[in-house]
């Protein structure tokens, strides 16, 4: 079971655009997000948020430092 592959997404933010605005996106376009600057990224596995954290640079690699783990539904945080 430990070898099962999972889809993991690191979500910077979310927002809404009209199709007309999407069609006009180009290089250097700015898309407003609902999250404020400096907010943690969400870690989602199969669409379910399991953690959040901040982007860090380690040597020449971009990484995510986990700052909060979300307990499963129905389980209280310790």
pLDDT tens-digit readout, 10-34: 988 888 999 999 999 999 998 888 8
To the nearest 5 percent, what fractions of the chain are helix, strand and coil? 5, 35, 55
Question: Which pLDDT score, from 0 to 100, does residue 12 have?
Answer: 86
Q: Which residue has the higher pLDDT, 5 or 35?
A: 5
pTM above 0.85, yes or no: no
Cα–Cα distance, 62 to 42 (Å, whole number): 15
What fold, for 8-69? Surface presentation of antigens (SPOA) (2.30.330)
Q: What is the pLDDT of residue 18?
A: 93
Q: How far apart are CA 5 and CA 1, in angstroms?
A: 9
Task: Render pLDDT for 29-62 as a digit per residue (tens, 0 to 9).
Answer: 988 888 887 788 999 998 899 999 998 899 999 8
Q: In the structure, what pLDDT confidence band is assigned to residue 77 with cuts at 50, 70 and 90?
A: low
């Amino acid at each position: 079971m430990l070898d099962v592959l999972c889809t993991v997404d690191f979500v910077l933010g979310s927002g809404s655009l009209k199709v007309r605005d999407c069609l006009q996106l180009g290089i250097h376009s700015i898309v407003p997000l609902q999250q404020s600057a400096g907010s943690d990224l969400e870690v989602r596995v199969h669409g379910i948020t399991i953690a959040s954290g901040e982007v860090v640079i380690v040597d020449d690699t971009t990484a995510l430092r986990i700052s909060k783990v979300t307990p499963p539904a129905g389980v209280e945080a310790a």
